[in-house]
Structure 1
Amino acid sequence: MNGPYKPGTPCWIDLFVPDQQAALDFYCDLFGWQGEIGPAEQGGYSVCTLKGKPVAGIMKASNPDGSVPDPMPPTVWTTYLSTDAIDSTLKSVTDAGGTVMMGPMGVMDLGRMAVVADPTGAVFGLWEPGTFDGAGIVNEHGALIWNELTTGDTAAASAFYSSILPVTTAASEMPGTEGYTEFKVGGRAVAGMMNLDNLPPGTPPNWLPYFHTDSVDEIQAATTRAGGNVLAPAFDMPVGRMAVLTDSQGGPFAVITANAPEPPA
């Protein structure tokens, strides 16, 4: 990866879970990550690495005072979009009908972050880099390769994201992907979007991370052995072979063996 992520590009993902150690064990075993519970001054936040480079974060779900949330929030991965000016981006979020859920807040000298929701209800993060740009390895086995928004109103989502960050949206031109939308930064696809109609009834709007793997079927089998579940069994599509899974605490994620990987940065 060369240099920082351009504004509007997914740059980081993290997971808030009831059992942090169980999540670390699950993903480290599944993808070959290294990670341990972080120091108290960092709230215990775990920066997981692959080949010595940061790949994802995992943290125990808790209230600001450290108490256990009641009810416990759902276990989901948060996708962070890079911005070079988080304060002005947050103003654009509220002006465009989005909601600021947390932040902005500084993370030592690493950068500044916030968590927001778009007008359709999908939650995502914003990251203004300081000394930390985001994921240091992508498009390899066990690393992030794609991020995808699923929403009930793709037109409203397109208008929202284009108004808060320098991204454009366009219909995918790849055969077999009719109805799929691509987010582009500088003319290059960095994320995708599809309609909730393609998912089971009751599924909320969400951002889903995709991890590249050398064998979707092997990862699917390992997931079930480790207590996870299969939401969409391994299948072939124009861009590769993929599956949608959940970890042992219910957090959804996708894995793909891409025919022609499209790097997010």
Structure 2
Amino acid sequence: MSTHETPWPAGTPCWTELSADDAAAARDFYSGLFGWDIDVSGPEFGDYGVARVDGHRVAGVGGKMSADQPSAWTTYLASDDVDATAAAVAEHGGQVAGPPMDIADMGRMIIATDPSGAVFGVWQAGSNTGSGLVNQPGGVVWNEHVSGDFEGSKTFYGNVFGLSVQPMPGAPEGLQSGMLARSGGQVVGSAADVSASSADGAGDGWVTYFAVADTDGTVAKATELGGSVVADPSDAPFGRMAVLAGPEGERFAVVQTPAEGHAHSDTPDADPTD
């Protein structure tokens, strides 16, 4: 089991969170789909739900902060200093939705938008270190940044988080995609031009991939629970995948990874969150 209970290295996707109009209905959908146990906080934290698998944190489900906020999954990247990261976001052409804020003793965060328009969060760990289980059914297995401005996105995430883009193993020459890696070469996800993304139909922005034991069964279950299919199951080098939408249209991907490892297991150190 891939568990992790210490702060994630800076630049690593460390959490994923859904903002929904009807958070209670969203909790029912995802607990039914992934088998999550969801702990719901009190009103002081907006009745925020923390989803768990085998007792380990895997994702958050909560209400929206404003009426015009879209229903969507948001990827959070780890930071050792959120205030410095917020300044770097603004310096390199991004926008910060508000000043850094503390969430009790759990951590410090911002919500930001990169120059391509993709929304993401930044988390500086306190008592809550983010995802406690990855690469297992019900947990996050991969994160991909999809943009119509591949070169601009490479530059932004390089300047702000120190991430570089390495060639995607086996990809055709000239394809606008690559593996996102932090200092030292540790792969933390992928980046792609919207025309080259594996998650066909997921749209621009950060795409969250959840691990599942049976992609086809998960697709059938999602439609039964009130979700919809954006892209039918298909086989890819890293596993069988599909793109789905939840009850409010929020899009995400699921991947049935090979038994011997996680997505992109044939790539050295290709762990989406480690």
TM over 0.5: yes
Q: CA 1:201/1:128 → structure 2, altered by over 3 Å: closer, same or farther? A: closer
Equivalenced residue count is 258
Q: TM-score normalized by structure 1? A: 0.92
Contact kept? 1:196, 1:203, Cα under 8 Å: no
The correspondence of residues 113-192 of structure 1 with structure 2, limited to 5 A, is 113-174=109-170, 178-185=175-182, 186-192=184-190
Question: Which residue in the other structure is 1:197 paired with?
Answer: 195
Deviation of 1:166 (Å): 2.5
Q: Distance in 2 between matches of 1:175 and 1:207?
A: 20
The correspondence of residues 223-238 of structure 1 with structure 2, limited to 5 A, is 223-238=222-237
Q: Distance in 2 between matches of 1:88 and 1:129?
A: 14
Unpaired runs of 5+ residues, structure 2, are: 263-269
Deviation of 1:203 (Å): 7.5
Percentage of identical aligned residues:
35
Deviations 1:7-54 (A, max 9, x none): 000000101101011000000011010114320111211111111111
Is 2:108 the partner of 1:112? yes
Deviation of 1:172 (Å): 0.7
Question: Which residue in the other structure is 1:66 paired with?
Answer: none
Q: TM-score normalized by structure 2? A: 0.89
Contact kept? 1:176, 1:238, Cα under 8 Å: no
Deviation of 1:198 (Å): 4.6
Deviates more, 1:229-238 or 1:36-45: 36-45
Question: Which residue in the other structure is 1:28 paired with?
Answer: 31
Q: Distance in 1 between matches of 2:64 and 2:227?
A: 19
Unpaired runs of 5+ residues, structure 1, are: 64-68
Q: CA 1:203/1:57 → structure 2, altered by over 3 Å: closer, same or farther? A: closer
The amino acid that maps onto 1:92 is A
**Aligned to 1:35, what secondary structure does the other structure show?**
strand
Indicate the RMSD between aligned Cα atoms, in angstroms. Answer: 2.0
Q: CA 1:248/1:212 → structure 2, altered by over 3 Å: closer, same or farther? A: same
Deviation of 1:55 (Å): 0.8
Deviation of 1:181 (Å): 1.2
Q: CA 1:246/1:37 → structure 2, altered by over 3 Å: closer, same or farther? A: same
Q: CA 1:32/1:224 → structure 2, altered by over 3 Å: closer, same or farther? A: same
Is 2:105 the partner of 1:89? no
The amino acid that maps onto 2:177 is Y
Q: CA 1:201/1:213 → structure 2, altered by over 3 Å: closer, same or farther? A: closer
Pick aligned residue for 2:21 from 18, 22, 27: 18
Q: Distance in 2 between matches of 1:176 and 1:31?
A: 34
The amino acid that maps onto 1:61 is K
The amino acid that maps onto 2:224 is R
Q: CA 1:231/1:188 → structure 2, altered by over 3 Å: closer, same or farther? A: same
Deviates more, 1:248-257 or 1:201-210: 201-210
**Aligned to 2:138, what secondary structure does the other structure show?**
coil
The amino acid that maps onto 1:58 is V
Deviating beyond 4 angstroms after TM superposition, the runs of 4 or more aligned structure 1 residues are 175-178, 198-204
Deviations 1:31-85 (A, max 9, x none): 010114320111211111111111111111144xxxxx2xx42211000000001
Q: Distance in 1 between matches of 2:134 and 2:202?
A: 28
**Aligned to 2:169, what secondary structure does the other structure show?**
coil
Contact kept? 2:201, 2:230, Cα under 8 Å: no
The amino acid that maps onto 2:189 is A
Deviation of 1:204 (Å): 5.6
Q: Distance in 1 between matches of 2:203 and 2:218?
A: 25
